[in-house]
Amino acid sequence: MSSKCPFCGAEIQGNPTECRGCGARLAEAERISGPSQQSTAPDATDEFAEVRKLLVAKGGRNRSKRFWGLAMILLGALLALWSYYLIILRTPSELAVDSRSGLPFSGQSSLLEGEDWVKMGEEQLIAGNYQEAVSAYTKAIELGVKDRFVYFSRGMAFKGLGDYNRAILDFDKNIEYAPDDITPYVMRGVSYAKLKNYNQAINDYNKALELKPREAGFIAEIYYNRGNAYMKLEDYQSAILDFSEAVRLNKNLSASYFNRGYVHATLGIYPEAIKDFQKAIELNPKDPAAYTNLAAVELSSGKYGPAIKDCDKAIAMNPKFANAYNIRGLAYSKVGQLPRALKDCQKAIELDPYYPEAYANLGYIYLRLHQDEEALKNINLAARLGEKSATTYLKAREEKLKQGLGKHRQAPPRK
């Protein structure tokens, strides 16, 4: 009879007390749980920019929802094992001095007090109360508890607070105690990526893979994160290889299809991008960003009707998704429905007042409606916000005026 480990998902044969995939005690399953999180950050777009500006990159946060949950579950299992070892297996003589740190404790009562702080930290960490968890683990360390799991746990709490530099220091300490422990390398890599130190993140993911983790889903997440780092460095071929390996190991990893689609679209490989976004939607049909990215590629492929429909779906899921309105506005402008295009671009700006491409698009639509004053106002705003096509248009218009050739009415061509 076989089952799955509740911590890492590895297949289990018979009734073992320990998972061969992650090493967790299976008896601890009922009391371990963890938070999960996932987010996307929309990028702006304009009608005359490259397709990558139409896209939303997922995993810019360098982790998938499942990976964060898996890390927290493994953390809970490790903490449970540590508590069992500390309280049950260690003898009174071992309680006097920690052999790994060489630091004497002030007595068994102080150690037990420190262990109480560890338990409190564990409870707060699993509940998502990261500041309280940091305080509890710090108190435990001050009372003499010097254990790699405590440093790892505090590192996770710092990471939850967004204090990635301190998280890295704690993961360093974990690695110092246990250089063959895979998880701290992965989480340190995630932290380096959050600090935009992508090369160091890749080094950590490489080290984690060298240590040969056993559970396929966990390996897939490492490839996914390394693929994100390569994507940020614009090493797109390496990113595609990693995302492809991730989905080979875990065919249900929607974020890897999503980001591979992003890379394919950035490289102009639109048929493959469409396939990837469609697969991401199949696996995660409630993700508005996937519909929006699919619409962006359809727009760039001249499929304006499908682009409008996919933006409709994204907006139905998230009415405050500015990027979806902007892309739909572009699609409407392509099929000559300028009033609808105008309304959508205005809505995008209402939702995001610092959306340079939406201002540029609105200006170009006003040009087509022969409303030059409104057009120039919006194009100037786009240029001030750093939108390149708007700056190009204004410079070309100025040159035309200097040459006495009249108003430069036409929008710049697509790059």
Residue 356 one-letter amino acid: P
Domain count of the chain?
1
> How far is the C-alpha of 286 from the C-alpha of 255, rounded, in Å?
13
Q: In this structure, are residues 218 and 71 in contact, taking their beta carbons and an 8 Å threshold?
A: no
Please report, for residues 198, 276, 406, the alpha-carbon distance to residue 229 in angstroms, rounded to integers and kept in the order given. Answer: 5, 19, 49
Query: What's the distance, CA 162 to chain centroid?
Result: 13
pLDDT values of the chain reduced to their tens digit, one per residue, 415 residues: 445 444 344 555 544 444 544 444 333 322 222 223 233 323 333 333 345 456 766 654 344 445 555 555 566 555 555 554 444 443 333 332 232 333 333 333 344 488 899 999 999 999 999 999 999 999 999 998 888 999 999 999 999 999 999 999 999 999 999 999 999 999 999 999 999 999 999 999 999 999 999 999 999 999 999 999 999 999 999 999 999 999 999 999 999 999 999 999 999 999 999 999 999 999 999 999 999 999 999 999 999 999 999 999 999 999 999 999 999 999 999 999 999 999 999 999 999 999 999 999 999 999 999 999 999 999 999 999 999 998 999 898 888 887 775 555 555 554 4
Looking at the domain assignment, is residue 81 inside a domain? yes
For 139, the token pair is 């108190």
Please report, for residues 25, 288, 326, 375, the alpha-carbon distance to residue 42 in angstroms, rounded to integers and kept in the order given. Answer: 41, 11, 11, 25
Looking at the domain assignment, is residue 201 inside a domain? no
> How far is the C-alpha of 293 from the C-alpha of 312, rounded, in Å?
13
Looking at the domain assignment, is residue 248 inside a domain? no
Looking at the domain assignment, is residue 270 inside a domain? no
What CATH number is attached to the domain comprising 147?
Answer: 1.25.40.10
Looking at the domain assignment, is residue 304 inside a domain? no
pTM of the model: 0.73
Q: How many residues does the chain have?
A: 415
What is the extent of the structural domain holding 182? 71-195
Looking at the domain assignment, is residue 61 inside a domain? no
**What sections of 178-321 are H helices per DSSP?**
182-194, 198-210, 216-232, 236-249, 254-266, 270-283, 288-300, 304-317
Burial of 26 (0-12, 13-18, 19+ CB in 10 A): middle
Looking at the domain assignment, is residue 47 inside a domain? no
Looking at the domain assignment, is residue 333 inside a domain? no
